[in-house]
Every structure is written in structure tokens, then in C-alpha cells.
Copies of this chain bind each other. A is one copy, B any other.
Amino acid sequence: MVADDQVMVRAGFRMLLAGETDIEVVAEAGTGAEAVAQARRHRPDVVLMDIRMPVLDGLAATQQILAENSAARVLILTTFDLDEYVYEALRVGASGFVLKDDPVEQLLAAIRAVAAGDALLSPAVTQRVISAFARRSHRPAPPELAELTARELEVLRLICRGLSNAEIGAELWISETTVKTHVTHILTKLRLRDRVQAVVLAYEADLF
């Protein structure tokens, strides 16, 4: 299915895909709302979705379509490669991202890839996602963390869920005094002042 607000663009895609024997355009839509309705009726395998569309934008439409038919695969089409679009699109569940000025083979490869259950991003987009991903994954865990005992890590985990010492004690079936001992040891080993800093460190190091 092709969803784009410009008739010419839709016609272009239809022509383009008509040459492929394994691809059939079963529906078109000019607005996000229409896309949702058409997807409900025709249940397409793959939706080519423009982001900029009237009534309901491509992202909201994507979210809606996937909510109704989780087997559908949505390929986002856009002229721009703005970051927010990329992240937001992946967040709502799009399977891929193709720029309108990518070569045609790229588009066809993407359609076939997502139809097969894979995913495909335009190289330029991949670059962005990778660097964002690498940035997020790259959290040098402070070596002091290794010094914590199993019990201390357990206490730290509960601290990071916002529990008080008394609540942690109840959770672990030990006295609040013991919890305080563990907390003291945790703070000493990690060279921190209070539990707040412990929570910050844990999140920064991507624990839990």
C-alpha cells in the first residue's frame, strides 16, 4: 500500500512497482486517516508511508495501523532525514526508513526485506542510528562496581527502584539496620555520599 499526500508521487510509486512481479499495490491513501482505513480494509503486507501528510501524520498513522495489525510492516518514506523523524518512527514501530532520493533498487530491497520480516534502513539513516546507539551503549562501568558483593548489588537494585531502607528490609526479609550497613558499604566502595548519587551512577553505568 502506498500512502502519500501527493497524487503524482503515488502514481510514480505505482508505476515503479508495477514492473515487479512479486510486488502488487493493493491500495493507496492520501492522508494518514485514509491510510488507517485502507490498511484495515486491505491488510497490506507492507505500507510505504510518507511522514508529512494531512489529517493524521505518517507516524500517528503507523502507530494506529500496527496497533490494529501487528503483522503489517511499515516503511517510512521521507524527503528529509531529520533525526527526530528517525527516532520517533522507530519508536512507533516502523520497520525501515527510506529517503525519497535513495536509488530505486534501495527501495525495492527495503520492501522485500521488510516483507520477509527483516528491516532495512537507508545507509544515511543507519549511520545516525548506529552512532546514537553506540553513544547510548557506551557507558564505561566504573571498576569499583565489581567490588560489590551479591547482596550489596541486590540492595543497590532496590535503592534504584526508589525504596527506603525500611522497605528494602521488608523486601529482603532483613532488618533495616542491616540494610543500612549494606548501604554504607555500597557508598564507601563506590566513593559516593548518598543513595541519590548511587542511583545516578547505576543509571549512568546502565545497570539494571
Contacts and interface: CB of A to CB of B under 8 A. Distances in A.
A130 B119 contact: yes
Number of copies: 2
Interface residues of A, number: 39
Contacts of A123: 113, 116, 118-120
Given A196-B162, A200-B162, A133 B134 contact: no
Scoring A116, A133, A161 by chain B CB atoms within 10 A of each residue's CB, the highest score goes to A133
Nearest to A118: B123
Interface in A165-208: 192-197, 199-200, 203
Contact of A126 (B121, B193, B199): B121
A93 interface: yes
A194 to B, nearest CB: 8
A170 to B, nearest CB: 15
Contacts of A91: 134, 137-138
A90 B134 contact: yes
A193 B132 contact: no
Interface in A110-137: 113, 116-121, 123-124, 126-127, 129-130, 132-134, 136-137
A197 B162 contact: yes
- Would you call the interface of chain A mostly helix, strand, loop, or mixed? helix
Given A134-B93, A162-B196, A196-B199, A117 B127 contact: yes
Interface of A: 87, 90-91, 93, 95-96, 113, 116-121, 123-124, 126-127, 129-130, 132-134, 136-138, 159-162, 164, 192-197, 199-200, 203
17 contacts: A87-B133, A90-B133, A90-B134, A95-B130, A113-B123, A116-B123, A118-B127, A121-B121, A121-B126, A133-B133, A159-B196, A160-B200, A162-B196, A162-B200, A195-B196, A199-B199, A203-B203
Given A162-B192, A162-B200, A196-B199, 4 more contacts: A90-B134, A129-B133, A133-B133, A199-B203
